[in-house]
Amino acid sequence: MSSTLTDELKNRRPENVKILCQLLSIPSVSADPQCADSLHQAAATLSELFQIAGTGWSCEVVPTAGYPIVWARYRALGNRRRAIVYGHYDVQPADPLDLWTTPPFEPTLRDGKIYARGATDDKGQMLTHILSALAWMKTAGQLPIDLDYIIEGEEEVGSENLERFLAEHRDELKADVAVISDTSQYAPGWPAITTGLRGIFACEVRVHGPRKDLHSGVFGGAIPNPIRELTRLLSLLHNEHNEVQVPGFYADVVPLTDADRAGFAELPFDQDAFLAETGAIGLRGEAGFTPLEQRWARPTLEFNGIYGGYTGPGPKTIVPASATAKITCRLVANQNPDVLMKSLEVFLRSQLHPSCRLEFTADHGCPAFLMDRQSPFLQAASKAIEAGFGKAPVFIREGGSIPVVATFKRLLEIDTLLLGWGQNTDNLHSPDEHFSIEDFHRGTLASAILWEELAKV
């Protein structure tokens, strides 16, 4: 990259922080209907930023059934590559307000960090990719890659209108790769690329016994107890090695490579600190895997809730009518949520005692995401981060799901580069959310270099 661009980014630092503060001072809380005007204001502010970009740029604030999507496009003759940049301008609610050191929508600099709701999630991180493009335009008059920015205002409330937008504009959104900065570095000084996300499916299992709650003295001993049957069924789902016992559950799992495992093993992981953070007195994970592997790269079957019979204070002598469990499975690459949800149902039905009835309710599913470690786009991003942060990134994964990544894969058939500039400790979704100013500038630099590296692929 040209030293002119590097210098430009250095010079623009005060101006970039000013733009960030302007955006952070808008209380664009998507969950709060009283903030509706602020959400439109945030979208308009972003749109204005793109207006100043110059030749080749266009920007549209696209209405949806909810809050609008800011869709900015850059096109230049001769560019071979195109990337989609996804981000969101809405933020989490700020309460409890009294736990904030300074007001959530009065951005404040303290100890090298900017404190405000949305500082890291996602205004600060998302903005780096806009500011990097503006610097390119200012110094080179052009960008080496075509870009589509899709910045929505409903991420914190379920992105209900995003998928329809993507489906409607599918043909216009052809691209080589997507870029999102809405994750974190592994730890301070450990820049990271998230190369995998787990998928998920959710379901509810209800066992029915008698028609209504019965007197346990009069009927107990002869009539089936649905709590007993449900707990018996659930106990069949794991073995003593904490392996899931649904037939075929692991059949399609992409195994961890030696390189994956070696990479995870190099990451600092403090088990005592992890336990202290969770308050659990011990670990309990699938035998043969480390905690990071268990959380990032292995599927799970987790009980999220259970209820049945009497749940108030003291005893009540009944045989209950039914008992219900809520189950989610986290999936890894190549596992099919629909197939496995059916396998779970078939297995439970095959084990059911004939004195009880079983009701199975399927809920949403989403496949896992795993980036090919040999992908040239991944290598390009790695170079950009090394240049921007002064240290090569580690490859990490996340145990949760980011639905838009699966949607990009399904609808647009592209992978997503998850480039986290923030830290896990930035108080996302909590009071005193913040973002390191240094990471903000490093991220902007890495983003500027990324456009060049992606263009070279």
Interacting positions 212-231 with its own copies (CB under 8 A)? 212, 214-225, 227-228, 230-231
- Binding to its own copies by residue 325, rule CB under 8 A? yes
Judged by CB under 8 A, the stretch of 2-10, 84-92, 276-284, 431-439 that binds its own copies is 276-284
Query: Of the candidates 295, 296, 292, which has an alpha carbon nearest to the alpha carbon of residue 371?
Result: 296
Angstrom distance (rounded) from CA 117 to CA 434: 7
Task: Let me know: does 90 contact 48? Beta carbons within 8 Å.
Answer: no
Q: Is 278 exposed, middle or buried (0-12, 13-18, 19+ CB in 10 A)?
A: exposed
Closest contact distance (angstroms) between CB of 266 and its own copies is: 18
Which position among 135, 193, 323, 380 is part of the footprint of its own copies (CB under 8 A)? 323
Interacting positions 359-378 with its own copies (CB under 8 A)? 363-364
Judged by CB under 8 A, the stretch of 79-87, 166-174, 303-311, 448-456 that binds its own copies is 303-311
Task: Let me know: does 210 contact 256? Beta carbons within 8 Å.
Answer: no
Closer of 69 and 329 to its own copies (Cβ): 329
- Binding to its own copies by residue 238, rule CB under 8 A? yes
- Binding to its own copies by residue 315, rule CB under 8 A? yes
Closest contact distance (angstroms) between CB of 421 and its own copies is: 19
Closest contact distance (angstroms) between CB of 416 and its own copies is: 17
Which position among 353, 391, 410, 456 is part of the footprint of its own copies (CB under 8 A)? 353
Which position among 111, 258, 268, 281 is part of the footprint of its own copies (CB under 8 A)? 281
- Binding to its own copies by residue 202, rule CB under 8 A? yes
Angstrom distance (rounded) from CA 327 to CA 305: 7
Interacting positions 373-402 with its own copies (CB under 8 A)? 398-401
β pairing state of 146-152 and 69-74: antiparallel
Q: Is 279 left (phi over 0), alpha (psi -120 to 50) or beta?
A: left
Q: Which residues contact 37 (CB under 8 A, 6 or more apart)?
A: none
Closest contact distance (angstroms) between CB of 301 and its own copies is: 9
Closer of 38 and 328 to its own copies (Cβ): 328
Closer of 250 and 274 to its own copies (Cβ): 274
- Binding to its own copies by residue 302, rule CB under 8 A? yes
Closer of 8 and 345 to its own copies (Cβ): 345
Backbone angles phi, psi at 33, to 5 degrees: -55, -25
Interacting positions 409-428 with its own copies (CB under 8 A)? none
**Window 282-301: contact mask with its own copies (x via CB under 8 A):** xxxxx----x--xx--x-x-
Closer of 134 and 234 to its own copies (Cβ): 234
Backbone angles phi, psi at 451, to 5 degrees: -60, -40
Interacting positions 12-41 with its own copies (CB under 8 A)? none
In DSSP terms, which residues pair with 366 in a beta bridge? 200
Which position among 241, 350, 354, 374 is part of the footprint of its own copies (CB under 8 A)? 354
- Binding to its own copies by residue 279, rule CB under 8 A? yes
- Binding to its own copies by residue 210, rule CB under 8 A? yes
Q: Strand order in 434-436's β-sheet?
A: 108-110, 113-115, 434-436
**Residue 199 DSSP one-character state:** E
Strands annotated E in 76-176: 82-88, 108-110, 113-115, 146-152
Q: Is 103 exposed, middle or buried (0-12, 13-18, 19+ CB in 10 A)?
A: middle
Q: Is 215 exposed, middle or buried (0-12, 13-18, 19+ CB in 10 A)?
A: exposed
Task: Let me know: does 83 contact 452? Beta carbons within 8 Å.
Answer: no
Which position among 110, 170, 316, 456 is part of the footprint of its own copies (CB under 8 A)? 316
